[in-house]
Amino acid sequence: MSEKQLTIPKIYHDLPLEVSVVVGKRKIKIKELANIQIGSVLELNKYTGSCCDITINNTKIAEGEIIAINENLGVRITNII
């Protein structure tokens, strides 16, 4: 089985990129937004094992699965776009 992999020319290998993992999105009403303060919690319908998107510069490059690594969260890549 051939695994899909990103092809990036070597000239770019040392450039830094900011990778974002989109764990979840939620719609809220303006009145909820007005009540947000330090310590507020926005509950998401995601949990360990849920799917997430991996983006670079707001462009989706992959999909993943949220995993627990000790006390931290991580992402297992499941699909490369």
Per-residue model confidence (pLDDT) at position 44: 86
First-to-last C-alpha distance (Å) of the chain: 17
The pLDDT of 69-77, averaged and rounded, is 93
| Total domains present in the chain | 1
Torsion angle defined by CA atoms of residues 8, 9, 14 and 16, in that order, rounded to the nearest 10 degrees = -40
Residue 48 domain boundaries: 11-25+42-80
**30 is a domain residue:** no
**66 is a domain residue:** yes
**Could you tell me the CATH number of the domain that includes residue 47?**
2.30.330.10
Per-residue model confidence (pLDDT) at position 6: 74
DSSP 8-state symbol, 73: E
pTM tops 0.75: no
Is 47 or 72 the better-scoring residue by pLDDT? Answer: 72
Six-digit token string for 16: 């830094």
Quick: pLDDT tens for 2-60: 577 778 899 999 999 899 998 888 899 999 999 999 999 988 888 888 899 999 988 99
Q: What is the DSSP string of 45-69?
A: S--TT-EEEEEETTEEEEEEEEEEE
